[in-house]
Homo-oligomer: A and B are copies of this chain.
Amino acid sequence: MNKQLAIGIDIGGTNTVFGIVDARGDIMYRGALSTSTNERIEEFIDDLYEAIKPAIEKAGGIEKIKGIGIGAPNGNYYKGTIEYAPNLNWKGVIPLTELISKKFKVPSALTNDANAAAVGEMMYGAARGMKDFIMITLGTGVGSGIVANGQLIYGHDGFAGELGHTIVLPGGRLHWGTGALGSLEAYASATGVVLTAKEFLAARKDEASLLRDISEEQLNSKAVYDAAIKMDKIAMEVYEITGKILGMALANFVMFSSPEAIILFGGLTKAGNLILDPTREHMEKNLLPIFQNKVKLIFSQLNESDAAILGASALVWELKNE
């Protein structure tokens, strides 16, 4: 039978990964290319086409492909455009699905990377069978995808779900990119964790820490994690305060859409209970009683690179009735 396969593409600031996926969510072929080396979007799409072409051939040709789903930062579902993405080379408004469909000659759909992850989780991961959940990606930045009544919330303009940019501590830490003071992303991202560690080290100069052996340039979120699992007090407290702030923010999200679960995804979740325990504690503490002890706070069940491909490919099946 024809058109049983979907291509999933996840465009990140540095790398782009892709796969050819069947309707059960098995990735048959996969690959990757650099995102950042192409200054012009047209060149990137040429490179992307050349990279995927051999996999399409192996899968039986383009007539087997129902469509292409793409996840990308600032991806707009309604318009199929990437708009003003700070971490990509291509500035302004990029008509991505138009360019992709023209090149590959199949329909395509775009959403932001966190929405793609939420769709992937709903079809193949921890959110199977759920109609109301929130996906929070804790990576270099903080992204989110919100599902209510079984549907992704895109909002009026296709940009809904920018929970990383909600203000959680008014007048708080300056965000390096947006200029906002006290947004969630300024704290609960890998970047935020490193900034918190640096603040703690500067403010508590008399306190020993394994983190003091690391140069300022090499102090990344993995180093904080490595120190925390060795019971380094400052590193552990970095996770506690990060979880406290994240938990407060999650409580607000729960009182908005009352989800069955919040699914955490991305690099920061590697810290396991170091981040999960304080997050859960402070989420519960800030909830109205009618919401307490109801919301599952869980990690994604998909591995990170697969989730990105699966989530993007799932957009193709989502589109099947349109």
A residues in contact (CB < 8 Å) with B: 74, 83-84, 131-132, 146, 148-149, 151, 153-163, 165-170, 178, 180, 248, 251-253, 255-260, 286, 288-291, 294
CB–CB B255/A166 < 8 A? yes
Closest 3 CB pairs of A and B: A155-B258, A160-B258, A156-B260
Considering the chains assembled together, what is the distance between the CA atoms of A169 and B165 in angstroms? Answer: 16
Considering the chains assembled together, what is the distance between the CA atoms of A255 and B114 in angstroms? Answer: 14
Considering the chains assembled together, what is the distance between the CA atoms of A165 and B254 in angstroms? Answer: 11
CB neighbours (8 Å) of A259 from chain B are 155-156
Considering the chains assembled together, what is the distance between the CA atoms of A235 and B159 in angstroms? Answer: 38
Given contacts A84-B290, A167-B286, A290-B83, contact A148 B153 (CB under 8 A): yes
CB–CB A84/B289 < 8 A? yes
CB distance from A246 to the nearest CB of B (A): 13
Given A149-B151, A157-B258, A167-B286, 18 further pairs, Cβ under 8 A = A83-B290, A84-B289, A84-B290, A132-B155, A146-B256, A153-B256, A156-B259, A157-B291, A158-B258, A160-B256, A160-B257, A161-B257, A162-B291, A165-B288, A166-B252, A167-B252, A180-B288, A253-B256
CB neighbours (8 Å) of A165 from chain B are 255, 288
Considering the chains assembled together, what is the distance between the CA atoms of A294 and B160 in angstroms? Answer: 13
Q: How many copies does the complex hold?
A: 2
Considering the chains assembled together, what is the distance between the CA atoms of A256 and B165 in angstroms? Answer: 9
CB–CB A258/B154 < 8 A? yes
CB–CB B251/A167 < 8 A? yes
Given contacts A170-B168, A252-B252, A255-B163, contact A74 B290 (CB under 8 A): yes
CB neighbours (8 Å) of A160 from chain B are 132, 148, 256-258
CB neighbours (8 Å) of A294 from chain B are 156-157
Considering the chains assembled together, what is the distance between the CA atoms of A259 and B161 in angstroms? Answer: 11
CB neighbours (8 Å) of A151 from chain B are 148-149
Given contacts A170-B168, A248-B167, A252-B252, contact A153 B257 (CB under 8 A): yes
CB neighbours (8 Å) of A180 from chain B are 286, 288
Given contacts A84-B289, A169-B170, A252-B252, contact A155 B163 (CB under 8 A): no
Q: Most chain-B CB neighbours within 10 Å: which of A74, A155, A157, A294?
A: A155
Considering the chains assembled together, what is the distance between the CA atoms of A169 and B256 in angstroms? Answer: 17
10 contacts between A and B (CB under 8 A): A74-B290, A84-B289, A132-B156, A148-B153, A159-B290, A159-B291, A161-B255, A162-B255, A166-B256, A170-B248
CB neighbours (8 Å) of A166 from chain B are 251-252, 255-256
CB–CB B256/A161 < 8 A? yes
Given contacts A148-B148, A256-B256, contact A288 B170 (CB under 8 A): no
CB neighbours (8 Å) of A289 from chain B are 84
CB neighbours (8 Å) of A167 from chain B are 248, 251-252, 286
CB distance from A290 to the nearest CB of B (A): 5
Given contacts A132-B155, A153-B148, A248-B167, contact A178 B257 (CB under 8 A): no
